[in-house]
A and B are shown apart, each in its own frame.
Chain A
Amino acid sequence: MTISTLKSRPTYPGLSPDHNARSNIIVCDKAGAEAVTELFSRADDTFAKRSTVIVAEGTTDQDAETLKTALAPATVGFQPSLETGIARLREFLKDAPMGLRLYAAGSEPLIGSVVQAAADYSIDHLSIRTEHRGSLKRRVQCVHCKGFTENVTTNPVTCSHCGLTLMVRDHYSRRLAAFQGVCIDAEVPGEVPETEALYQ
Chain B
Amino acid sequence: MALTFKDETFRDDFTFSNSPAAIRRFPFPFVEDKYMYSVNIEPHTTGPEGSVFEFPFDIDEHYVSEMRDRAMVLQEDPARCQALPHMMMAQWDMLELVMMSMARDYPDLFTLTRDGSKWHWVNRPLKIEQTFTFGDASTLPYEPMEYIGRQVQGDFSIQDQRDNQLWMDAGIITSQADWSLDFDVGMNFFEWHGPVPLAHEAGVFERALKFLLNLQISNPVRRLNWTMTINPRLDTSPENYHKWGKDRTTVTPENVGQKVHLRVEMQGLFRLPRSNAILFSIRGYLLSLDQLVTVPKWGRRLHRVLKTLPEELIGYKGLSRYRDTTIEWLSKYDDGAPTSRGGGPD
A186 to B178, CA, bound (A): 13
Return chain B residues, CB-CB under 8 Å to A169.
195
How many A-B pairs fall under 8 Å by CB?
Answer: 69
Residue of B nearest to A162 (CB): B242
Return chain A residues, CB-CB under 8 Å to B205.
7
In the complex, the answer to whether A143 meets B238 with C-beta atoms within 8 Å is: yes
Contact of A186 among B194, B195, B200, B246 (CB under 8 A): B246
Q: Mark B297-324, 1 if CB is under 8 A from A, else 0.
A: 0000000000000000000000001000
**How many Å from the CB of A72 to the closest CB on chain B?**
39
With an 8 A cutoff between CB atoms, is B257 at the interface? no
Return chain B residues, CB-CB under 8 Å to A164.
242
In the complex, the answer to whether A187 meets B246 with C-beta atoms within 8 Å is: yes
Residues 118-136 (chain A) with a chain B CB within 8 angstroms: none
Q: Mark B184-224, 1 if CB is under 8 A from A, else 0.
A: 11110011111100001000010000000000000000000
Return chain B residues, CB-CB under 8 Å to A5.
200
Residue of A nearest to B245 (CB): A186
Contact of B184 among A146, A173, A182, A186 (CB under 8 A): A173
**How many Å from the CB of B313 to the closest CB on chain A?**
17
Residues 154-197 (chain B) with a chain A CB within 8 angstroms: 180, 182-187, 190-195
Q: Mark B50-82, 1 if CB is under 8 A from A, else 0.
A: 000000000000000000000000000001000
With an 8 A cutoff between CB atoms, is B241 at the interface? yes
With an 8 A cutoff between CB atoms, is B248 at the interface? yes
With an 8 A cutoff between CB atoms, is A107 at the interface? no
With an 8 A cutoff between CB atoms, is B249 at the interface? yes
Residues 233-250 (chain B) with a chain A CB within 8 angstroms: 238-246, 248-249
A189 to B186, CA, bound (A): 33
With an 8 A cutoff between CB atoms, is A176 at the interface? yes
Return chain B residues, CB-CB under 8 Å to A174.
186-187
A143 to B186, CA, bound (A): 16
Return chain A residues, CB-CB under 8 Å to B193.
7
Return chain B residues, CB-CB under 8 Å to A172.
191, 194
**How many Å from the CB of A167 to the closest CB on chain B?**
11
Tally of contact residues, A, Cβ under 8 A? 25
With an 8 A cutoff between CB atoms, is A22 at the interface? no
Return chain B residues, CB-CB under 8 Å to A175.
185-187
In the complex, the answer to whether B190 meets A7 with C-beta atoms within 8 Å is: yes
A26 to B242, CA, bound (A): 41
A180 to B182, CA, bound (A): 11
Contact of A173 among B187, B190, B246 (CB under 8 A): B187
Most buried by B among A164, A171, A174: A171
Contact of A188 among B186, B187, B246 (CB under 8 A): B246
A173 to B180, CA, bound (A): 11
With an 8 A cutoff between CB atoms, is A9 at the interface? yes
A174 to B84, CA, bound (A): 14
In the complex, the answer to whether A176 meets B183 with C-beta atoms within 8 Å is: yes
A9 to B248, CA, bound (A): 29
In the complex, the answer to whether B191 meets A7 with C-beta atoms within 8 Å is: yes
Q: Mark A156-175, 1 if CB is under 8 A from B, else 0.
A: 00000000100001111111
With an 8 A cutoff between CB atoms, is A2 at the interface? no
In the complex, the answer to whether B238 meets A182 with C-beta atoms within 8 Å is: yes
Instruction: Using known A-B contacts A144-B239, A186-B242, determine if residue A171 contacts B194 with beta carbons closer than 8 Å.
Output: yes
In the complex, the answer to whether A180 meets B242 with C-beta atoms within 8 Å is: no
Return chain A residues, CB-CB under 8 Å to B246.
186-189
User: Can you give 13 A-B contacts (C-beta < 8 A)?
Assistant: A5-B200, A7-B194, A144-B239, A144-B241, A146-B79, A171-B195, A172-B191, A173-B186, A173-B187, A180-B238, A183-B241, A186-B244, A187-B248
A9-B194, A143-B180 given; name 15 further pairs at CB < 8 Å: A7-B205, A8-B191, A143-B238, A146-B79, A169-B195, A175-B185, A176-B183, A180-B180, A180-B238, A183-B245, A186-B241, A186-B243, A187-B245, A187-B248, A188-B246
Interchain residue pairs A-B with the least CB separation, the first 4: A186-B245, A8-B194, A8-B191, A183-B242
